[in-house]
Amino acid sequence: MQQGRSVDVDRRQFRFRHCLGRGGFGEVYAATLVSAGGVETAVAVKLLHAEVDPESQAVERLRDEGRILGLLDHPAILRVSDLVTLEGRVALVTEYVEGCDLDRCWKDTPDPIPDRVLVEVCSLVADALVAAFEAMGPDGHRLELVHRDVKPSNIRIGRHGAVKLLDFGIARARDSRRQARTSTAQVFGSFLYLAPERLDLDSDDVPGPASDVFALGATLFEGLAREALFAGIPERKQYLLSLDRAAFDGFVEQRLAGSPRLSPALTELLRTTLAHDPTRRPSAAALGRACEELAASMEGPTLRRWCREWSWPAPVPVAGPLEGRVVSESMTLGRFAPGAPTPEPARSTASGATTLGTGAWLGLAGMGVAGAGGVVAAVVVAVLLVVVVVVVVREPASPPSAAPPAPVVEAPASAPETPAPVVEAPAPVVEAPAPVAEAPAPVVEAAAPVVEQVPAPAPETPAPVVEAPAPVAEAPPVPAPRATATWRVEGTVPVELRTSTGRAVSAGSVSAGSYTLYADFGRGWARLDSVPLAAGASVVVRCNRIRQQCSVEAL
């Protein structure tokens, strides 16, 4: 007998500990992954909101991020474990680095990160950018990956000296198989760290790795000066500066001169890194080497020593709906993995595994039998079917007026001696219909008086039958349909609609009601106007990052 294929249905479990952060499309949790064999691993789970449409760009971006990270191999790039579904929500599982984001290393702390350590961190991140750009894709060509969102909050520092570049969700690669679609008129990234060419919407040039170099330079400046490069500058002014090379370079020069903590070597490095002209900036590889050499010549502790001795801040509490819960991995992930094979049908067994053997396939074929006994029964059924087929095939040879028993009687005459008893057995069965044929005659006669008596009560009998379906027809309308409305976002500004309890609902179908509009123009979530959504309404939210305004328009 063919050995069945066993499919493990004991899925991995995720024990969610605490929420690390929350954004417009989802949350990031510190969790413990428990394998089917009981092995426990600390992981980070980037989980999209339950309201996010499975076919939306947010899902495609998360899937792209997982696929891209799976192709990258560098100590300073976050390692991805898997892409899974948890309670119908798409989730990216990565390694968990205990520590904090780089911006917290100098914000709200009495002992900020030393300059030498910061320069060493930037050297490692620059190396990660080189590795991402030069990594090979499945087709044997370079990915030419541009991160497009380098900033302090996307750089993680581990307690043991690890440095990780996070969030490749909006990264742009040469690989044309990327699922998420972007428009040339859209600007992705954080405004405070955007290179000037990223804001030139009239240019047909695709931002290259030089834009990541600028963002890393802006990060280095902020850590050294303890203030962002464009701090206090309205976004509209930053946009206008980006269009004027002389004005932009003059602005950078003023900012460098106003930071006395900068050494001449660091000032010169930042001057070129933050240049308006991308061709004047050093490559990521050159920036990494320059930062490494500068760090070696600077005073102060090394990165690993500082990490061992620093008083790490406590995690910032962020409310997350999955905190403290245990969630099992869903079985279905096919739609989130392009080209994944369709799962085969499975039947559960008492042991928690699934086996599809010969007997099971017979059962699936509708025979209702399994195992060796099923095979014997199948053979018997097949023999009987052959006899029936022989009878049916031979029947047309007899005259149409001949009685049905005639072919059956002739069949055993020409049959071998062994089947003779088998053929004789059906003979009485064939003769039995004769009295049965006579029996209906009195039945028809007996029915005559019954037909004469039925008309009297007939009108009364159908009456209850007609009334009975009435309650059945009224039953479906009992559950009232949920009043819903739809909304979507156009543009690159992160937008949320929040309920009166503060719960964020993502774009798509939502319950009708009143919501509050929030937008993040680069400096955190800002509360805007109330948005009433009537049942059946459909609206679009458009935000202007320069004017820091949003409009809600009916579709």
- Quick check: 384 pLDDT over 60? no
pLDDT tens for each residue of 254-264:
999 998 889 99
- Quick check: 74 pLDDT over 60? yes
**pLDDT score for 389:** 38
Q: What domain range includes position 327?
A: 11-96+321-336
What would the mean pLDDT of 18-43 be, rounded to a whole number?
90
Q: 299 and 430, same structural domain?
A: no
Q: 150 and 68, same structural domain?
A: no
More confident residue, 369 or 337: 337
- Quick check: 226 pLDDT over 90? yes
Separation of alpha carbons 273 and 256, rounded Å = 12
Return the CATH number at 192.
1.10.510.10
253 and 271 in contact (C-beta within 8 Å)?
A: yes
Percent of residues, the chain, with pLDDT higher than 70: 67
Phi and psi torsions of 480, nearest 5°:
-70, 135
Return the CATH number at 495.
2.60.40
Q: In which band, very low, low, confident or very high, does the pLDDT at 356 lie, cut at 50, 70 and 90?
A: very low
- Quick check: 220 pLDDT over 90? yes
Do the domain assignments include residue 219? yes
Do the domain assignments include residue 300? yes
Do the domain assignments include residue 499? yes
Separation of alpha carbons 404 and 495, rounded Å = 80
Q: CA distances (Å), 498 to each of 90, 268, 550, in order? A: 21, 46, 15
pLDDT tens for each residue of 121-163:
999 999 999 999 999 988 888 999 999 999 999 999 999 999 9
The helix or strand, by DSSP H or E, that contains position 213, with its residue range, turns out to be: helix 209-225
Could you tell me whether strands 513-520 and 495-498 are parallel, antiparallel, or unpaired per DSSP bridges?
A: antiparallel
Count helices and strands in the chain by DSSP H and E runs: 17, 19
Q: 86 and 70, same structural domain?
A: yes
Q: 499 and 427, same structural domain?
A: no
pLDDT tens for each residue of 198-214:
998 766 667 799 999 99
Q: 220 and 126, same structural domain?
A: yes
pTM score above 0.75: no
| b (16+ CB within 10 A) / e for 259-278 | eeebeeebeebbebbbbbeb
pLDDT tens for each residue of 398-456:
444 444 443 433 443 343 444 434 434 343 433 444 343 343 434 334 333 443 444 44
Return the CATH number at 42.
3.30.200.20
Q: In which band, very low, low, confident or very high, does the pLDDT at 41 lie, cut at 50, 70 and 90?
A: very high
* Overall number of domains in the chain: 4
Do the domain assignments include residue 450? no
pLDDT tens for each residue of 50-64:
777 766 777 888 888
Do the domain assignments include residue 22? yes
- Quick check: 329 pLDDT over 70? yes
More confident residue, 287 or 139: 287
**pLDDT score for 327:** 94
What would the mean pLDDT of 306-332 be, rounded to a whole number?
88
pLDDT tens for each residue of 79-128:
998 989 898 888 999 999 999 999 999 998 999 999 999 999 999 999 99
**pLDDT score for 381:** 39
Q: In which band, very low, low, confident or very high, does the pLDDT at 480 lie, cut at 50, 70 and 90?
A: low
**pLDDT score for 175:** 54
Do the domain assignments include residue 224? yes
Q: 493 and 431, same structural domain?
A: no
Q: 297 and 168, same structural domain?
A: yes
The mean pLDDT value of the chain amounts to 75
Q: 107 and 88, same structural domain?
A: no
Q: 303 and 192, same structural domain?
A: yes
- Quick check: 186 pLDDT over 60? no
Do the domain assignments include residue 467? no
User: Which residue, 443, 464, 492, sits at the end of a domain?
Assistant: 443
Q: 221 and 91, same structural domain?
A: no
Q: 144 and 15, same structural domain?
A: no
Q: 164 and 58, same structural domain?
A: no
Do the domain assignments include residue 24? yes
Plot region of 20 (φ>0 → left; ψ -120 to 50 → alpha; else → beta): alpha
